[in-house]
Amino acid sequence: MIPGLVLILAVDLALLAGSSAVQIPFIDAPAAARRELPATADDASGPPGSGVPSGAGAPVAGPPPAVPVEPAVSAVPAPGVEWSKLGRDSSLYLGIMHGFRLATEPGTRAGGFGLGGGYWRSVGNLHGIADGDPFYVNYVGHPMEGAVWGRLYLLNAPRFDHTVFGKSREYWKGILSASAYAWAQGEQFEIGPLSEASIGHIQADFAQQGFVDHVVTPAIGMAWMLGEDALDRYVVRPIEDRTDNKWVRLVLRSALNPSRSFANAVDGRAPWNRRSRAGILGYEPESAYLRSGARSADGPAPEGEPKPAPFEFSVSPGWRQFGGGGCMGGGAEVAYRVMPEVQLALAVNGCNLLGLPKDVSGDALIYQVGPRWTPLPVGKWSPYAHVLFGGMKITHEQLYPEKKAAVLAANKDLDPMLAYTLHEQYTRREEDSGVAVSVGTGVDYKLSAALALRVVSVEYMRSSVGMLGGMPYSNGLQVTTGMVLRLGTW
């Protein structure tokens, strides 16, 4: 992401440096002309159909009388998602990320390409949480990746691209929809046909096998978008109301909303673009904000007739108890409604094993699918019961400290970036896989049409995995809680 931000800054400087010689719509239009231009055409290189009049640079007789306009949500449904354009933007962003990986990571170039044996070894090797990456990669880089995916979705969803941070249902619907899109694209980037697993086969090597990126990319990515939106409303816009300095506005908009700036550039807009108000020179305090048609941050929206959600996505931290000890972790579920009271659920859960002998670590991965009965799908309280069928993989790793010290001493001149290649010389890994069947029940509490709280879920599991490392794994009990995103109800 860092090279992308440098590129954004270079574009900013180039556009503004040449503004005295070349007029750029919504940046250099005369003040009177700017007042007649739609505030939605904020960027210097916006997409076709942005609404900029052909004679924007010509003198006009005078500004029209100011007419207060109350911000409101139109009763006419906004257009749907522009999927073809979103697909082009997403392909460009995916190409930028993989291009950066290939240019800067020797292991990616040497790991191989394609959907053959290397790909399936990468996917099959997934287990545990940690993936060996530094903190800033896992908890800054990947969340920002998720935020950019979400921003690209919002830029191509006219229904949501004018909303601003606040209590409005439209704003939160947009954020939740964008987060769901970020999750799907994040999974594709990790294990899809054009992914780290197919380009470089990196998960096949220690210690890239963890699930941390699958969790933080959409979850912390959503928090990143919320943080940027809050900064834009409560920091950037109030300062813009108090200054006409184009450099201050440029730096504030671009630097305090980096994921939005990067997504704008990918979409062909100026990095400082805002659909809720005019550009850095055309912006006028408050009045421009109202004329832009920005949806009220706190305006009410009418409730429709309740209906069962066609799709549900949930994330749940939890505790699993095996015969030999506990396991702390979490998981995610996707459920598709096949009948008014019946869903088809797909669940993937993982956890780190606790209570293992000294110098032994381990984890469990459970993946299952099956029917779920939901007798009250639109009620405030929605109980459910399900039977899930699938598999479980248990992994143990024994570390030999003395052997590790000897191996590292013998390879002290090795490039630290290649230290992972020595891991198998001082560890021993064993694993077992088998069929797993779970029977469970739980209850959700409806917070809104889009969100529900999974108050509790309890599952009992039987598996064909027996003893591993002297520990029994043939049965287990899991208790989880979490949040449920309901799609298709708003």
pLDDT tens, position by position, 60-117: 455 555 444 444 444 444 568 999 999 999 999 999 999 999 998 887 888 888 888 8
Q: What is the DSSP letter of 129?
A: S
Handedness of CA 291, 296, 302, 307 (dihedral sign): positive
Identify whether the C-beta of residue 371 lies closer than 8 Å to the C-beta of residue 344: yes
Q: Which helix or strand (DSSP H or E) is residue 158 part of? A: none
- CA dist., res. 177 & res. 129, Å (int): 26
Task: Note whether 231 and 225 are within 8 A (CB).
Answer: no
- Distance from the first to the final alpha carbon of the chain: 33
- Per DSSP, the three-state class of 440 is strand
490 residues of the chain, pLDDT tens digit each: 444 544 444 445 444 444 433 333 333 333 333 333 344 434 444 444 444 444 444 444 555 554 444 444 444 445 689 999 999 999 999 999 999 999 988 878 888 888 888 898 888 877 776 666 777 887 888 889 999 999 999 999 998 888 888 888 888 888 988 988 998 999 999 889 999 889 988 887 776 777 777 888 888 888 899 999 999 999 998 988 888 888 888 999 999 999 999 999 999 999 998 888 887 777 666 544 444 445 444 444 445 567 888 989 888 888 999 977 899 988 889 999 999 899 999 998 888 888 888 899 888 989 999 999 999 888 899 999 999 999 999 989 899 999 999 998 888 888 776 777 788 889 988 889 999 999 999 999 998 888 899 999 999 999 999 888 888 999 999 999 999 988 877 6
Q: How far is it, in rounded angstroms, from Cα 163 to Cα 166?
A: 9
Predicted structure pTM score: 0.62
**CA 184-185-186 angle, 5° bins:** 90
For residue 184, the surrounding DSSP H or E stretch is helix 169-191
The answer to whether 283 and 291 have CB atoms below 8 angstroms apart is no
Whether residue 230 has a cis bond before it, omega within 30° of 0: no
Distances (CA, A) of 79 to 74, 76, 159, 269, 347: 12, 9, 6, 20, 33
Identify the sign of the CA torsion 208, 209, 212, 217: positive
Separation of alpha carbons 235 and 249, rounded Å: 11
**Residue indicated by tokens 């530094």:** 134
User: CB under 8 Å, gap of 24 or more: what pairs does 416-420 form?
Assistant: 417/106, 417/107, 420/132, 420/205, 420/206, 420/207
How is residue 356 written in tokens?
Answer: 């293992």
* Residue 398 identity (one-letter amino acid): Q
User: Which domains does the chain carry?
Assistant: 1-63+80-302 (no CATH), 311-487 (2.40.160.20)
Strand partners, 411: none
Cα distances from 470 to residues 357, 464, 467, in angstroms, run 10, 15, 6
Determine contact, residues 255/17, Cβ cutoff 8 Å: no
Asked whether 318 and 478 are in contact (CB, 8 A), the reply is: yes
User: CA-to-CA distance for 187 and 123, rounded, in angstroms?
Assistant: 12
**Side chain identity, residue 422:** L
